[in-house]
Structure 1
Amino acid sequence: MQLFLLHFAGGNVYSFEFLRKEIKNSDFIPLELPGRGKRHRENLVTNKDQAIEDYCRQIQSLRNGEPYMIYGHSMGATLGLSVAAKMERSGDRPKALIVSGNPGPGIKNSKDFLYHELDDFNFKKELLRLGGISTAITENKDLFDYFLPIIRADFECLEKDFFSEKGLKVNIPIYAVMGAGEETCDRIENWKNFTSHTFTSEIWNGNHFFIHNNAAALAHLLQLSCKNK
């Protein structure tokens, strides 16, 4: 089984290293968008269609004929749906889509602003509130100046064409999990609107980045998903 992992906003190919040692009997394949990590010399992507196409090209180049799954957290969950749909249309659909930290396309939070349009001070404040960035980064000007355009580009990618997934459905199981401390966790059932197959959801303890404290449970969910049809 191949497991392709799609990172959250500001993430890269190393974002799921905390999970690697927990995954057994699967080919662990984290992917990343241009402009960060091993692809830091490439231009950042601020267009959702380009991000989806980039991920699909990566998956197609790494496919080995074995069954595979797609897992995405937050931004990776949103893009993962469209990536799964595009791969399905190509005749090579994944066995399952696993999503976390995301209530599914079309659900807005209570904020009346776009993250990518915030000034640096308020953008930093919102990132800290989400819990996805270390204070070691936000309090180090050089580090923060490096990560800022990456994270801002990722938010722009999602926010510019907010609900382009409207009407999209895949014919594969979707497994969704969110943290109880996430503002929109009560809307997790929204994901069932995007599959004509089975849907399963769970709420775990934690905030938006609850996955870091639930590596073993997440690995168990991924392995359970690969066993089910």
Structure 2
Amino acid sequence: MVRSGAARDSCRIRLVCFPHAGAGASVYRPWITALAPEVEVLPLVLPGRDSRWREPAHTGMSGLARAAAEGLAAFFRAEERQVPYAFFGHSLGAVVAYETARALGRPGPGPQLLVVSASAPPARAAASSRGCHTLPDEEFLAEVDRLGGLSPGVLGEAELVRLLLPVLRADFTLAETYAPAPGPPLSCPVAVYAGRDDTGVREAHLAQWQEVTEVRPVVHRTFPGGHFYLDGARPDLVRALRQDLGAAAEPVRAGGTAPRPVPHPAGPKEFS
């Protein structure tokens, strides 16, 4: 994980962030200072990218979730300050975060909150597999771009494409071969974030995230923008995260049970 001293000794909750397909921990760097000091942001460094670029990227969801859960469990056990933690995952990262939360919940405690962003729920994500990962390079990249999986301008940067291609193909293999295993629902709240103009994820599908948790309501927040609405540390997004994470931390500090997300002043929809 990428760690900064900005909130290490003062945070009320830690936020582990899972990147989208082809991305690395750097996409969450602006959040480190934006959410400090109450929240310590911990961008997850996955194999095949950032400082772990020499390691082969995972192509199977169960192996990735298990490895992430084991690494996080060891990290949290070693911490002198025991504070609650939450997960945030964007797009493919949302499903990875969900599966990691499931793995951590067997047998130990899982996160206090799961925030999923710009992603269909597990069953729907698995059903939408297209076989994109088997295409030749040029066709593969064109299809990824058509699906909205690349930031604007990426295809015009040849060196960047060369570096991204193996990770993107591994991530799409992981996504398109994913089949969620049956199991009990999560015992933590789930908050669903999305861009209002994201044409890749239907609102009806976002509502189905309620099926993965036993906690009600599941709160849905929308923000201006498309699939990559979260680029940077937008004030409206930071406010929503502070509110949901503050609610997640409070019952733990008081010795209570896992919390529910607090409705946003802008009036998010609630899936009950």
The reply on whether 1:212 has 2:231 as its aligned counterpart is yes
* Pairwise CA distance, 1:16: 1.1
The 8 Å contact of residues 78 and 104 in structure 1, kept in 2 or not, is answered as yes
Which residue is 1:171 aligned to?
A: 187
Structure 1 residue runs without a partner (length 5+):
none
Q: 1:174 and 1:48, CA in 2 relative to 1: closer, same or farther beyond 3 A?
A: same
Secondary structure at 1:21 match in 2 = helix
RMSD of the alignment, in Å? 2.2
Offset from partner CA, 1:13-38 (integer Å, 9 cap, x none): 21212333321311110002211111
Q: Residues 1-229 of structure 1: matches in 2 within 5 Å?
A: 1-24=13-36, 25-63=38-76, 64=79, 65-108=82-125, 113-134=130-151, 136-161=153-178, 163-180=179-196, 181-186=198-203, 187-198=205-216, 199-212=218-231, 215-228=234-247, 229=259
Secondary structure at 1:2 match in 2 = strand
* Pairwise CA distance, 1:164: 1.3
Secondary structure at 1:123 match in 2 = helix
CA distance in 1 between partners of 2:74 and 2:151 (Å)? 33
Which residue is 2:9 aligned to?
A: none
The 8 Å contact of residues 86 and 113 in structure 2, kept in 1 or not, is answered as yes
The 8 Å contact of residues 35 and 150 in structure 1, kept in 2 or not, is answered as yes
Q: 1:8 and 1:168, CA in 2 relative to 1: closer, same or farther beyond 3 A?
A: farther
Offset from partner CA, 1:201-221 (integer Å, 9 cap, x none): 123322111111672222222
Aligned residues, how many? 228
CA distance in 2 between partners of 1:109 and 1:67 (Å)? 30
Offset from partner CA, 1:149-201 (integer Å, 9 cap, x none): 1011011011112x314555101000001122233232210100000012111
Secondary structure at 1:106 match in 2 = helix
CA distance in 1 between partners of 2:128 and 2:108 (Å)? 39
* Pairwise CA distance, 1:128: 2.7
The 8 Å contact of residues 13 and 38 in structure 1, kept in 2 or not, is answered as no
Q: 1:111 and 1:169, CA in 2 relative to 1: closer, same or farther beyond 3 A?
A: closer
The 8 Å contact of residues 129 and 175 in structure 2, kept in 1 or not, is answered as no
Structure 2 residue runs without a partner (length 5+):
1-12, 248-258, 260-272
* Pairwise CA distance, 1:132: 4.4
CA distance in 1 between partners of 2:136 and 2:74 (Å)? 38
* Pairwise CA distance, 1:127: 3.0
CA distance in 2 between partners of 1:101 and 1:134 (Å)? 14
CA distance in 1 between partners of 2:234 and 2:147 (Å)? 19
Q: 1:37 and 1:201, CA in 2 relative to 1: closer, same or farther beyond 3 A?
A: same
CA distance in 2 between partners of 1:52 and 1:177 (Å)? 21
Q: 1:39 and 1:112, CA in 2 relative to 1: closer, same or farther beyond 3 A?
A: closer
Q: 1:59 and 1:188, CA in 2 relative to 1: closer, same or farther beyond 3 A?
A: same
Which structure would you say has the larger Rg?
2
* Percent pairwise identity: 25
Offset from partner CA, 1:104-136 (integer Å, 9 cap, x none): 112259978322122222222233334443455
Which deviates more, 111-120 or 87-96? 111-120
* Pairwise CA distance, 1:62: 2.2
